Amino acid sequence: MYKGKLVFSQLTDHLPLHVFRHCVERYNGNRYVKGFRCMDQYLVMFFAQLTFRESLRDIEACLRAQEHKLYHMGIRSKVARSTLADANEQRDWRIYAEFAQELISIARPLYVNTDLGLDLDNTIYALDSSTIDLCMSVFPWALFRSTKSAVKLHILLDLRGNIPSFIHISDGKMHDVKVLDIIVPEAGSFYIMDRAYVDFERLYAFTVAGAFFVTRAKSNMKYRRRYSSKRDKSAGILCDQPIVLTSVKAAKEYPQVLRRIKYYDATTQKTLEFLTNNFTIPAKTVADLYRNRWQVELFFKWIKGNLRIKTFFGTSENAVKTQIWISISVYVLIAIVKKRMQLPLEIYTILQILSLTLFEKMPLNQALRADDCKTENEEPLEQLSLFTF
C-alpha cells in the first residue's frame, strides 16, 4: 500500500514556493497576520479551483470534513469562510499576479518546440479579450453599462502550448485597442489580432519595434495598391497586394507600406481580408496564422467553463483580481505538470481526475495515467448453473 504524500501535496511540489515567499515579502502579505498566512490562502483557493467549489461555505464544509489532512496539504490553519473572505479582500492581489507570471516563465520554455503546423520558428501570439458580467449592486466598482458591471480579461496567448504570456484585468469599459499601449512588442514575433485592434498609430509602433502583426482589414479602409503579386487561387488567395493608406489621418499614423491579402475560406465559404506588415511569408501562411487566432477564443471558453472565474468568493476589486490570478496559476501549473510528466491527457481530463483524487494517497503519475492501469484481457470464466437437474 502506498503511504506517501497526498495527490494534492504531490501537485503543489511543482510550485516554486521560494518564489511565492519572495512575492509575499515584497508586498508585506503576512504583516499583522497571526494565523491564516498567504500560503494558506493560496492553497485553499488552489483547492477550490481544482475541486470546482462554488462558494465560501462550500469550501469551508469540504475542508472541515477533511480537517485531519489539512496539515499534510500544507495548510497550517483552520479554514473559516470569514477568514478566507477577509484574506481575499485585504491581501494584495499583486502577490498572486507575480507568482502566476513566474509560473508562466517556467511553462513557456517547456512548450517552445510545439508544432503548430506552420513553417515558422517565430514566437506567435494571439491577442483577445473576454468580458465577465457582474451584478452592478454587488460590484459597483466595475461599472460597464448603466445597468450592469463587468470586468474584462485581456490575454496575449503564446500559441505554442496555449500559455498566456500577458494578462491585464480591467473594468468592462476599457476598449480592447488600448491594451496595445501596455504590451511591449517583441522583435521578430507575430501578433494575431481581430479588427477590434486596428489602430494604425498603435500598429505602427509594432512595426518600428520589429514585430509583425496579422489582423483583419476594416470595410471602410481607404488605400491605394502599388502592384499585385502572383496569387494562388487553388489555395484560396484572391489577391496579394502591397498598399499605402490614402486617408489623411491613417497615412500620417502609418506612413509605410502594408500588405493586403484577400482570402477565400472554402470551409466556411467566407471571403476574408487580412493586413500584415510581413512581406516575406507566403500569403497562405498569413491566412493560416489568422486561423490559429481561434485558439485564444477556445482558451477563454475553456477557462470560463473549467475554472472558477464566473462565481467570485469576494466582491471587492482586490478579491476578484486575486481569484482570477490564482485561476490562471492553476491552469499554468497543470500545463507544467502535463509537460514534465509527459502526460498524453488533455488539461481538461487532468482537472477532472484531480477533482476526485486530491485526498488520495497514491503516486501522482498513477492517478494521471489511468489508461496505463488496464489489466490484460483474460478469458471469461464459464458461468455456473444455479440449478442442477
What pLDDT is recorded for position 145? 81
Residue 117: pLDDT band (50, 70, 90) is confident
What pLDDT is recorded for position 228? 85
Residue 384: pLDDT band (50, 70, 90) is very low
Question: Sign of dihedral through CA atoms 299, 202, 96, 363?
Answer: positive
What pLDDT is recorded for position 308? 61
What distance in Å separates the CA atoms of residue 219 and residue 344, rounded to the nearest whole number? 43
What pLDDT is recorded for position 60? 93
CB atoms within 10 A of CB 260: 18
DSSP per-residue letters across 145-157:
SSS-EEEEEEEEE
Write out pLDDT tens, residues 40-85: 999 999 999 999 888 899 999 999 999 999 999 999 888 999 999 9
The cell for 158 is 503564446
What pLDDT is recorded for position 379? 46
What pLDDT is recorded for position 370? 54
10 Å CB burial of residue 182 (0-12, 13-18, 19+) is exposed
Q: Give me the residue spans of the domains in the chain.
A: 7-95+313-369
The cell for 297 is 477564443
Query: Up-side HSE of residue 336: CA atoms within 13 Å toward CB?
Result: 22
Helix (H) or strand (E) holding 334: helix 317-340
What pLDDT is recorded for position 348? 83
